[in-house]
C-alpha cells in the first residue's frame, strides 16, 4: 500500500520563468541570429539529458575547472546544433555568456497541474515530499509558490551531501516520511536520476515525461502529466 509520494522539482513540479528557450532566442538575436524559442526547446531538453547524465556519473560542480568548462561548452553546443545553428568556439562562448547574464533574472513557476494534484493527494492523506538536487533553501520558494500547505517535508542534496541518483537523498525522504521503501513512490522527469535512483533503495519510480523524451521507456510507469498519477497509486 502506497503511503508516501516524493516529487522531483525541475520539470516535474516547476519550470523556469521565463523559459530558457526564450532566453537563448534572445541571446542569439543579439548576435544577429534569429531562431524561435519553439525551435530551440528540443535542444534545451536534449542538453538537459546530457548534463544530468554527466552529473549522475560524477557531479559536475565537483570537477576541476577544465572539465566543468568542457561540460558547459558541450551543453551549449547541443542546444545550438539541435536548433540548426553552426557555432564555433567563440560564438559558443559569447552566447553562453549572454545567456548567463539573462539567467540572473530567472525564477520558477509551477506547471498548471501541480496544485490541484497536490491538493487531491493531501485530501487522500498521502505523505508528500520534495526531493531536489538544488543546493539551496527551498522554503522561501515553496512559500512563494503556494506549496507549503501541501508538502510535509523537503530534502535537498545540500542537506544530505549527495545528489540524486545516490541513495542518501532517497533514504532521508523515507526517514522523514516514516515509511518503508515499498510504501513510497518517487515521481521525477530524469530516468538516470529519478528512476534509477529510486530503484536503488527499493522505491517505486514513476517517470513524468512532459516533453515525450522517453518514448522507448517501458520498464517503469510513465506519465505525461500529474493528472495521470492517480492510476498508479
- Determine the structural domain holding residue 89 and report its residue range: 19-105
More confident residue, 68 or 143: 143
Pair 126, 227 in one domain: yes
Pair 58, 113 in one domain: no
pLDDT digits (tens, 9 = 90+) for 163-210: 999 999 999 999 999 999 999 999 999 999 999 999 999 999 999 999
Pair 169, 61 in one domain: no
pLDDT at position 110: 98
pLDDT at position 60: 84
Instruction: Mark which of 105, 125, 158 sits at the end of a domain.
Output: 105
Q: How many domains is the chain partitioned into structurally?
A: 2
Report the CATH number that the domain containing residue 201 is assigned in CATH.
3.40.50.1000
Instruction: Mark which of 87, 105, 123 sits at the end of a domain.
Output: 105
Instruction: Mark which of 105, 140, 168 sits at the end of a domain.
Output: 105
pLDDT digits (tens, 9 = 90+) for 146-175: 999 999 999 999 999 999 999 999 999 999
Report the CATH number that the domain containing residue 24 is assigned in CATH.
1.10.150.720
87 within 8 A of 77, measured Cβ to Cβ = yes
Q: How far is CA 80 from CA 11, 68, 152, 174, 221, in A?
A: 21, 19, 40, 40, 32
Pair 85, 99 in one domain: yes
Pair 36, 67 in one domain: yes
Pair 165, 222 in one domain: yes
Pair 117, 217 in one domain: yes
Pair 113, 94 in one domain: no
Pair 91, 194 in one domain: no
Pairing of strands 14-17, 107-110: antiparallel
Gap between the Cα atoms of 80 and 76, Å rounded = 6
pLDDT at position 61: 80
pLDDT digits (tens, 9 = 90+) for 26-79: 999 999 999 999 999 999 999 998 988 888 788 888 889 888 888 888 988 999
Pair 10, 90 in one domain: no
H helix and E strand count, the chain: 9, 8
Q: Which residue has the cell 545528489?
A: 163
Pair 134, 214 in one domain: yes
Pair 145, 226 in one domain: yes
H helices present in 112-227, as ranges: 114-123, 139-144, 157-160, 167-177, 196-200
Amino acid at each position: 500500500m502506497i503511503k508516501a509520494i516524493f516529487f522531483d522539482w525541475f520539470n516535474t513540479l516547476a519550470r523556469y520563468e521565463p523559459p530558457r528557450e526564450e532566453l537563448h532566442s534572445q541571446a542569439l538575436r543579439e548576435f544577429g541570429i534569429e531562431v524561435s524559442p519553439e525551435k530551440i526547446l528540443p535542444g534545451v531538453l536534449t542538453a538537459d539529458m546530457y548534463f544530468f547524465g554527466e552529473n549522475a556519473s560524477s557531479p559536475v560542480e565537483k570537477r576541476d575547472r577544465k572539465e566543468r568548462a568542457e561540460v558547459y561548452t558541450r551543453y551549449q553546443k547541443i542546444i545550438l546544433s539541435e536548433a540548426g545553428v553552426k557555432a564555433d568556439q567563440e560564438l559558443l562562448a559569447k552566447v553562453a555568456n549572454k545567456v548567463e547574464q539573462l539567467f540572473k533574472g530567472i525564477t520558477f513557476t509551477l506547471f498548471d497541474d501541480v496544485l490541484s494534484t497536490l491538493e487531491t493527494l493531501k485530501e487522500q492523506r498521502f505523505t508528500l515530499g520534495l526531493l531536489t538536487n538544488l543546493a539551496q533553501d527551498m522554503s522561501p520558494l515553496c512559500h512563494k509558490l503556494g506549496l507549503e500547505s501541501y508538502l510535509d517535508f523537503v530534502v535537498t542534496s545540500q542537506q544530505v551531501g549527495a545528489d540524486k541518483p545516490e541513495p542518501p537523498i532517497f533514504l532521508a525522504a523515507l526517514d522523514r516520511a516514516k515509511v518503508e521503501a515499498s510504501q513510497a513512490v518517487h515521481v521525477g522527469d530524469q530516468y538516470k536520476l529519478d528512476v534509477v535512483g529510486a530503484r536503488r533503495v527499493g522505491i517505486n519510480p514513476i517517470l513524468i515525461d512532459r516533453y515525450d523524451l522517453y518514448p522507448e521507456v517501458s520498464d517503469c510507469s510513465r506519465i505525461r502529466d500529474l493528472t495521470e498519477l492517480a492510476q498508479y497509486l
